[in-house]
């Protein structure tokens, strides 16, 4: 529907990935429903249960029985936050989509402002954390270094402190759905798409209940997906290092030859330490370069396998929809 089309009420689909959020889910949904209650849009909710092992599935069933606007998509196991978001985007049918976390850290109170910006012509409304006082020093520090590095390495500018709390128009979502890569870093993919984008800063609220579901392992995996999917810089760094040491080796040969030419080869002391140094350095560079190449080969391997990003279980409400994300070769 057109933004200016006052005769029709646009549908807003809210996509929420959930993983073991039994304690936060109900208060979150109550707050969300209250916030959107008076807005002049028709809303529906797509909760994606990312293979939770606690009471999350039961709570979602109850919520969807009590409110027909609530849809629950259940993945067959834990596929991760980005895959869960993708599942939600694939299933949601609204004219406007908003994604946010189920733990209350993305304040639903921002939704009216996001929709106002959409109405005024923006295709994407991004949110940016401005005060991370609630987060640990480790999380803040690692996030700062990560975005600094990412924006130095890649060609796509990715907003530091960007959250997966954003609004997208139907057109943007359809374009995003065309990007079927396995290693997904949605913040970068949305930035890559372009479109009229506006950023609103927000102060994250404290988590409603429970603890972060982003383990260190998941954070490292997301960071790797971001770096290796958005830049070839590690390969270029490897190549530069390799070339540098190649030039160094040539200089060394010329230096040694100069002694032979002058007939003073006897001055060349058997340089065990310098030799070892060179061997180690060159060995190190080679292993690093090979490591980088190895990672890319691994990523290519996973892409060509063409596996779906997630597998959704069939349920009454989603039976008619495709059960897993198709990926075109
Ligand atoms: N989440 C998910 N799958 C995962 C990890 C997290 O769907 O494997 C959900 C989680 O339930 C929450 C959102 O993604 O709604 C963000 O996770 P979390 O709040 O734990 O991350 P943090 O805010 O600590 O970075
Ligand atoms: Mg959170």
Q: 81: Cβ below 6 Å to ligand 1?
A: yes
Neighbour count for residue 34 (Cβ, 10 Å)? 11
Q: What is the mean pLDDT of residues 46-74?
A: 94
311: pLDDT strictly greater than 90: no
- pTM of the entire predicted model: 0.78
327: pLDDT strictly greater than 60: no
Give the residue, out of 214, 221, 222, 223, with the most ligand 1 atoms within 8 A of its beta carbon, to mutate for a pocket test: 214
321: pLDDT strictly greater than 70: no
Cβ atoms of residues 47 and 73 within 8 Å: yes
Q: 158: Cβ below 6 Å to ligand 1?
A: no
Q: What is the mean pLDDT of residues 224-230?
A: 81
User: What's the confidence (pLDDT) of residue 284?
Assistant: 73
User: For the segment 247-263, what is each residue's pLDDT rounded down to a tens digit?
Assistant: 777 787 787 788 888 88
- 281 to 103, 238, 252, 254: CA distances (angstroms): 48, 13, 14, 19
Please state which of the ranges 2-11, 188-197, 313-322 shows the lowest mean pLDDT. Answer: 313-322
Cβ atoms of residues 223 and 185 within 8 Å: no
224: pLDDT strictly greater than 80: yes
Neighbour count for residue 122 (Cβ, 10 Å)? 20
User: What's the confidence (pLDDT) of residue 226?
Assistant: 83
The half-sphere exposure of 131 on its side-chain side, counting CA atoms within 13 A, is 7
**Average pLDDT score, the chain:** 84
Could you give the CA distance from residue 195 to residue 156 in angstroms, rounded to a whole number?
A: 13
Highest mean pLDDT among 56-60, 178-182, 295-299: 56-60
Which is higher by pLDDT, 303 or 90?
A: 90
Q: Name the one residue in this structure whose structure tokens are 């579901």.
A: 213
User: For the segment 255-297, what is each residue's pLDDT rounded down to a tens digit?
Assistant: 778 888 888 877 776 676 577 667 777 877 787 788 788 778 8
Q: Is 207 helix (H, G, I), strand (E, B) or coil?
A: coil
User: What's the confidence (pLDDT) of residue 273?
Assistant: 59
User: Which residue, by CA, sits nearest to atom 23 of ligand 1?
Assistant: 212
Could you give the CA distance from residue 133 to residue 41 in angstroms, rounded to a whole number?
A: 34
Q: How confident is the model at residue 7 (pLDDT cuts 50, 70, 90)?
A: low
Could you give the CA distance from residue 185 to residue 98 in angstroms, rounded to a whole number?
A: 17
Residue 138 CA, ligand 1 centroid: distance in Å: 17
User: For the segment 112-135, what is each residue's pLDDT rounded down to a tens digit?
Assistant: 999 999 999 999 999 998 865 556
């Amino acid at each position: 529907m057109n933004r200016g089309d006052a005769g029709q009420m646009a549908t807003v689909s809210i996509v929420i990935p959930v993983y073991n959020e039994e304690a936060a889910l109900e208060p979150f949904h109550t707050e969300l429903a209250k916030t959107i209650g008076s807005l002049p849009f028709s809303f529906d909710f797509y909760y994606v249960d990312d293979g939770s092992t606690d009471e999350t599935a039961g709570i979602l069933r109850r919520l969807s029985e009590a409110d027909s606007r609530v849809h629950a998509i259940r993945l067959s196991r834990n596929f991760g936050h980005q895959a869960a978001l993708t599942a939600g985007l694939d299933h949601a049918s609204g004219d406007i989509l908003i994604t946010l976390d189920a733990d209350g850290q993305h304040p639903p109170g921002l939704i009216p402002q996001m929709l106002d910006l959409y109405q005024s012509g923006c295709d994407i409304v991004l949110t940016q954390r401005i005060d991370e006082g609630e987060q640990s020093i480790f999380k803040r520090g690692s996030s700062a270094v990560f975005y600094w590095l990412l924006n130095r390495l890649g060609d796509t500018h990715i907003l530091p402190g960007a959250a997966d709390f954003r609004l997208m128009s139907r057109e943007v979502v359809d374009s995003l759905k065309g990007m079927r890569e396995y290693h997904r870093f949605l913040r970068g993919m949305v930035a890559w798409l372009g479109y009229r984008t506006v950023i609103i800063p927000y102060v994250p609220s404290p988590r409603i209940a429970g603890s972060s579901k982003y383990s260190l392992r998941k954070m490292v995996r997301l960071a790797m997906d971001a770096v290796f999917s958005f830049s070839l810089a590690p390969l270029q760094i490897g190549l530069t290092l390799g070339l540098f040491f190649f030039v160094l080796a040539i200089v060394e040969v010329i230096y040694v030859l100069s002694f032979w030419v002058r007939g003073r080869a006897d001055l060349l002391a058997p340089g065990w330490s310098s030799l070892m140094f060179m061997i180690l350095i060159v060995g190190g560079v080679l292993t690093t370069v090979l490591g980088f190449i190895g990672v890319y080969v691994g990523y290519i391997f996973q892409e060509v396998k063409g596996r779906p990003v997630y597998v959704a279980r069939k349920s009454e409400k989603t039976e008619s929809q495709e059960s897993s994300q198709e990926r075109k070769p």
